[in-house]
Structure 1
């Protein structure tokens, strides 16, 4: 039932139909034929697929089916994905049986690039990820890790990426080469405090995590399952995990949407004589009525702690070339901040490109008068973006060349504007970036917000003449419609979908008494949540009923159609692959709304 309601992708329908009609003979071939991309299979969907198909029994009935074996391994990887919701792996009751079945028969798998990446992802999860938190019998997890280590060290698996032909395949093969032995190295101090930097499979766009382990167990997925631990750029390169004389509160992880939506995990780090103390754990959970889990204070030997932090900060074995270039540029700008400040600029996000990992991206803010100490309109800065492509020289040489150019040439002359207001950009002499500067002011107006995963994404086009008539809210947001109610009603009304394709008739499909029409703007009708302090009015995303989660003055347009239509009208396309929530890698220029506990954008 859950899959029939939530797994709406066309690629999943044959499998769901086989389950629905009870065609048990068709379940296995349809399961094998499922797409492996995270776009179609989230962690929650992966768990439901494994439960509905009775995956351990299928593996027992077909022990020599290598396609089924590979599919079972990929489902385990998806369930433990930290970028999504890793608690689904902990909620899957048959996880240990599937791990035993996949690892125990992994030698039957052909040594392809996909299978090598899948087995390595399982090993990384078993060594420092969510898989550690399963209720393993004593010594069983170590046996599985040792078995995977022996298998992947065999010559036939060591050359799995030798035939890589495309850029994506070569990038994946390079990841296997860099990371292949990492999960099988025995740490010098298995107990106590340890930081393990893990780069996930680049084919799945997995994040780079600075996993914090205490007594061999990962801290973040144990108490915070709504997002991955922060990257080493945030925790290590900035020195946030160092223990100083003054207590420091550090954000270890943030929800995959935003902290204002689903919270974050904090800890206070302080030095107490010859010990380092982690205490005062804090979770921000907006709108939640359940108490956050409490963690005790942890004490570590200060000398061992400092040694581990220094090792983690200097370890670059996980990093690829452009990521190393970005880290060296960032380190140089931290050491010499005057390199940018002389150009009235300040450092912002610096890392490898998300869309193109083979580039290094440097972003900075520009405020006139910053160097002289008299910034002009500091509340209206412009954001610039400089993309550095890998030229094949050593990363150290590329970073040094980039720092020299930043010091000798005004970076605003070769970087592009990627954030700030259009008016401010034109005022300062940087016009011509309509797609990156405030896309909500363009023809297709939208902002980003997050809704629970059981609600589908929709897009609300702006009213024709009433776009500026609502004094309560001037930003149009992505709307959500409930599965039961408006979603079914929308599928039952194809005429509404056809009308939504025509901008001139965009408001004729669901006319109400307070719907604005061309030439006759009407103010927003206050919603019941206005009494709680929300000023979004009728454009509020808070659920007023199961069938009303959108502005009644505008029709709901499915996300896929909105993306096609936004491309035709020249607007910025939404980047996330499936309607799970706002990813932390939203393109520069798209602002997220700030969510209050009620879920209303402010």
Structure 2
């Protein structure tokens, strides 16, 4: 047998066979690189490319499929005609929705027969895609197994397979099977589908596995809580400690400001679920992960969305106090002490975070009356998320003890302290009014808005007025007046308070200051500082961004962005910052491994290789 013949005999003949073989080799998934390389890699590379817009390409595919149906209603003969027509076409996964909608009125039997033939027997991804689109809404129980196998090829068929499975009666367990073996994005899509089905048989899995910390599925947290009836689950007198922990983790996920539609304030049963969790939390034996979970909830109960809920009576204070007392018990205090002595840097830093958050929560001002009949009181605290969960470090602003940003803006976190409390002194009040952005949507301001306020100093007081959100014309907040002495003192205290920082963040602050104060350090290489960051979920590193030769904002011409990712040595932050400055600037910082942005043309012009995007 020739080499080519041997390869053909060994290689899978269809995509379904390809998925089956890979699943046998990787039974718990997800498949490496989403199942690539695909069997048709050479075929796809040879397909003609076109400059036609998306709408035209989508329309062409719909026309091909519908014209074959109209010309040949016999499914057996239509399979061959449609297969031949698709051989020379590039079919993208995003065509599935429009195609499924376009063929919704087509004979279901025709769609099932042709869809199965294309999806299960094709060696070309475009034909498999069209086959799955035809099966959408008409597939039966016998299709669940092959469709879920194709869904393992997540880079091309994952989302489409989930679309088909969610419409097959009794396929909820197949969605669970696929979710368990999927990459983070497809896992989140499968969880969303399971929530829409609301099959009680999946509720236990949704509570245990529906949210993966730090992954896209966090956006489903509120929907999961509503689907499984979390408030009733955690209120069960027979609840076990593992279920209490799962409920707590789900509640934490709903508090994350980056959780999009998981936003806690939209969960109607949130006060009930939180109160019942507080009652049940004592059932759990003490572990450090559980300690950190409760600390995250306490932080939100003091400075986040939970603090803004409509609590009956003094129940908010009771929930806070109950959880605080639990963490003060010897067994729970012991796990924190043990974590604080850990030689594992991640555990040690997380323990330090937990201690700092508990201290900060104790300093948060309670709702209180104004100083007098005219003036409100300002208080500022920095909120740091659990390093194991990631998220933004926020500047929490309190007016008369109320977390004003959390109350009126749910699309994203408050601005970071480096932005509001840094060297630009954005919260300083001057005679000349200026507008300050207090929060921005996770996506972008242009997409889902931001929260702005105008600040001015007038006649011995500081005035916050003209609140606005570009995404909401209905925002109507009252003008707030502060005593100038109290306001200035609180701003000065907040700007000089770095007790919330962990060592990486301190190094980042010092790096930013040195590179701003001495622009010639990067300037000798014609580079210009962008941003410097140390992230809670990326312990032991700082990221330094800079541009060459121009910054992109308001500049015409070519430019490149570099991001130096620096592993930090142990030591005093001042000494470490000086060492990092030397490491970046003593030699040319325009290094290939740090090139992250700009354009391929700029890279070519300046003698760099444009990074390959995977």
Q: Which band: TM-score by shorter chain?
A: 0.5 to 0.7
Residue 473 (structure 2) pairs with residue 291 (structure 1): yes
Separation of aligned partners in 1, 2:208 and 2:591: 52
Residue 435 (structure 2) pairs with residue 249 (structure 1): yes
Q: 1:126 to 1:266 in 2, by over 3 A?
A: same
Residue 205 (structure 2) pairs with residue 205 (structure 1): no
Separation of aligned partners in 2, 1:20 and 1:426: 51
Q: 1:390 to 1:115 in 2, by over 3 A?
A: same
Separation of aligned partners in 1, 2:544 and 2:312: 47
Separation of aligned partners in 2, 1:355 and 1:18: 28
CA displacement 1:417-444 (0-9 Å, x = unmatched): 2222233233334x13423xxxxxxxxx
Are the aligned partners of 1:250 and 1:269 in contact in 2 as well (CA < 8 Å)? yes
Q: What is the TM-score when the length of structure 2 is the normalising length?
A: 0.62
Cα shift at 1:100: 1.2
Are the aligned partners of 2:393 and 2:417 in contact in 1 as well (CA < 8 Å)? yes
Cα shift at 1:284: 1.4
Cα shift at 1:200: 0.6
Match of 1:367 in 2: 549
Separation of aligned partners in 2, 1:337 and 1:100: 53
Structure that is richer in helix per residue:
2
Separation of aligned partners in 2, 1:405 and 1:166: 26
Are the aligned partners of 2:452 and 2:467 in contact in 1 as well (CA < 8 Å)? yes
Match of 1:434 in 2: 611
Match of 1:269 in 2: 455
Separation of aligned partners in 2, 1:280 and 1:130: 23
Are the aligned partners of 2:235 and 2:277 in contact in 1 as well (CA < 8 Å)? no
Query: For 1:281, what is the secondary structure of its paired residue?
Result: strand
Separation of aligned partners in 2, 1:386 and 1:133: 40
Q: What is the TM-score when the length of structure 1 is the normalising length?
A: 0.63
Are the aligned partners of 1:28 and 1:58 in contact in 2 as well (CA < 8 Å)? no
Mark the runs of 5 or more structure 1 residues left unpaired by the alignment: 371-375, 436-570, 573-602
Match of 2:519 in 1: 337
Cα shift at 1:235: 1.5
**The one of 394, 406, 410 aligned to 1:225:** 410
**The one of 330, 339, 347 aligned to 2:529:** 347
Are the aligned partners of 1:367 and 1:378 in contact in 2 as well (CA < 8 Å)? no
**The one of 352, 361, 366 aligned to 1:183:** 361
Residue 495 (structure 2) pairs with residue 310 (structure 1): no
Question: What pairs up with 1:369-408 in 2 under 5 angstroms?
Answer: 379-404=557-582
Are the aligned partners of 1:323 and 1:352 in contact in 2 as well (CA < 8 Å)? yes
Are the aligned partners of 1:41 and 1:78 in contact in 2 as well (CA < 8 Å)? no
Are the aligned partners of 2:388 and 2:537 in contact in 1 as well (CA < 8 Å)? no
Residue 309 (structure 2) pairs with residue 134 (structure 1): yes
Match of 1:91 in 2: 266
Q: 1:342 to 1:243 in 2, by over 3 A?
A: farther
Q: 1:305 to 1:406 in 2, by over 3 A?
A: farther
Question: What pairs up with 1:402-481 in 2 under 5 angstroms?
Answer: 402-404=580-582, 409-412=587-590, 416-429=594-607, 431-435=608-612
Are the aligned partners of 2:437 and 2:452 in contact in 1 as well (CA < 8 Å)? yes
Cα shift at 1:20: 5.3
The answer to which of 405-414 and 254-263 deviates more is 405-414
Query: For 1:181, what is the secondary structure of its paired residue?
Result: helix
Match of 1:102 in 2: 277
Are the aligned partners of 1:19 and 1:27 in contact in 2 as well (CA < 8 Å)? no
Match of 1:194 in 2: 379
Separation of aligned partners in 2, 1:32 and 1:389: 34
Match of 1:42 in 2: 218
Choose between structure 1 and 2 for higher RCO, CA contacts under 8 A separated by at least 6 residues: 1
Match of 2:43 in 1: none
Cα shift at 1:303: 1.6
Separation of aligned partners in 1, 2:596 and 2:208: 43
**The one of 419, 428, 431 aligned to 1:234:** 419
Q: 1:17 to 1:284 in 2, by over 3 A?
A: closer
Cα shift at 1:210: 0.8
Separation of aligned partners in 2, 1:304 and 1:321: 30
Separation of aligned partners in 2, 1:419 and 1:408: 22
Separation of aligned partners in 2, 1:327 and 1:309: 18
Cα shift at 1:75: 1.9
Separation of aligned partners in 2, 1:23 and 1:87: 21
Are the aligned partners of 2:540 and 2:568 in contact in 1 as well (CA < 8 Å)? yes
Question: What pairs up with 1:37-186 in 2 under 5 angstroms?
Answer: 37-39=213-215, 41-43=217-219, 45-85=220-260, 88-160=263-335, 162=338, 168-186=346-364
Cα shift at 1:359: 0.6
Match of 2:102 in 1: none
CA displacement 1:471-505 (0-9 Å, x = unmatched): xxxxxxxxxxxxxxxxxxxxxxxxxxxxxxxxxxx
Separation of aligned partners in 2, 1:189 and 1:396: 38
Q: 1:86 to 1:121 in 2, by over 3 A?
A: farther
Match of 1:438 in 2: none
Cα shift at 1:353: 5.1
Mark the runs of 5 or more structure 2 residues left unpaired by the alignment: 1-162, 181-186, 371-376
Are the aligned partners of 1:32 and 1:67 in contact in 2 as well (CA < 8 Å)? no
Q: 1:88 to 1:354 in 2, by over 3 A?
A: closer
When the two structures are aligned, how many residues end up with a matched partner? 424
Separation of aligned partners in 2, 1:63 and 1:47: 24
Q: 1:66 to 1:206 in 2, by over 3 A?
A: same
The answer to which of 300-309 and 158-167 deviates more is 158-167
Cα shift at 1:350: 0.5
Separation of aligned partners in 1, 2:228 and 2:443: 30
Separation of aligned partners in 2, 1:84 and 1:313: 28
Cα shift at 1:127: 0.4
Work out which of the two has the higher radius of gyration on C-alpha atoms and give 1 or 2: 2
Separation of aligned partners in 1, 2:208 and 2:535: 33
